[in-house]
Amino acid sequence: MARFRQVAVLGTAALAAFALTAAPASAATTTIRAGSATADPYSGNVQASLLGEASVSASIGSGSCSESTMTGSINSDGTGLAIAGASFTECTGTAGVTITTLNLPWTGGGVVHDPAGTNGRDATITIANFRVRAVVDLFGGIGCNFGGTLTANGYNGDNPARPDTSSGEAQVGVSNATVNRQSGSHFLCPSTAQVTATYALQGETTPGSGTYDQSLYVTS
């Protein structure tokens, strides 16, 4: 059951991985660029791919998923982050788990550059209005809905403090982030769960191609 909780959290994380609660005053000092601190600004489609495993823990247990991808779009000033699609698979646990997204697209997120480099990060990232449903194959099926706003740390691909140094792409790191149970959940679902995951973020070299091969970089 914890497995399903974990995935639900991932969904929220989700671009995962690459979102932040948009703060209009800060957004004006944020620029997303195509690969380096001096490259042209980047606006368009983005994809977040899970690095390693995503884990979730709750009062009834814990679990992990090894595959997750999110797709969406963002403006070059960090505003307008929207998640249009998300998937979570290869999840392990004591029972089968199915994770589905609800109410896509998740809009209202964004990316904000952190000039102070708090805890080694380059940006704050949030996915707003996420909502996912996890169904665990126990007692005929236990469904839990989780949603809200997930805030994470963003790292450029050359930042030595990035969570996964084996990847040179921009990353979103979620560490013990809390997600809340939503209406429509089974009474056995816990009120909260904690998720930990790292996603790599890329854009498209050719706009609209669906091929995510463009490195991204966040500056002021």
pLDDT of residue 55: 74
pTM tops 0.75, yes or no: yes
- Answer whether residue 218 is part of any domain: no
pLDDT of residue 139: 60
Measured in residues, the chain has a length of: 220
- Answer whether residue 220 is part of any domain: no
Q: Indicate the residue type of 113.
A: H
What's the token pair of residue 204? Answer: 């498209």
- Answer whether residue 119 is part of any domain: yes
- Answer whether residue 134 is part of any domain: yes
- Answer whether residue 174 is part of any domain: yes
Q: What is the DSSP secondary-structure string of the chain?
A: -HHHHHHHHHHHH-BTBS--B--HHHHTT-EEESSSTTSPB--EEEEEEEEEEEEEEETTEEEEEEEEEEEEEE-TTS--EEEEEEEEEEEESSS-EEEEE-SSSEEEEEEEE-TT-GGG-SEEEEEEEEEEEEEESSTT-EEEEEEEEEEEEEE-TT-TTSS-TT--SEEEEEEEEEEEE-TT--TTS-SEEEEEEEEEEEE-SSTTSS---EE-EEE-
Measure the CA–CA gap between 12 and 131, rounded to whole angstroms.
Answer: 7
Radius of gyration of the chain (CA): 16
Pairing mode, strands 214-215 and 81-92: unpaired
- Answer whether residue 219 is part of any domain: no
Measure the CA–CA gap between 124 and 197, rounded to whole angstroms.
Answer: 15
Mean pLDDT by 10 residues, the chain (220 residues): 38 37 48 96 97 74 79 96 89 69 91 95 91 72 81 96 96 86 88 85 97 97
Q: Indicate the residue type of 62.
A: S
- Answer whether residue 43 is part of any domain: yes
pLDDT of residue 96: 66
Per the structure, how many domains does the chain have? 1
- Domain extent at residue 88: 2-209
pLDDT of residue 84: 94
Cα distances (angstroms) measured from residue 208 to each of 44, 104, 174, 204, 217: 8, 19, 28, 7, 20
- Answer whether residue 217 is part of any domain: no
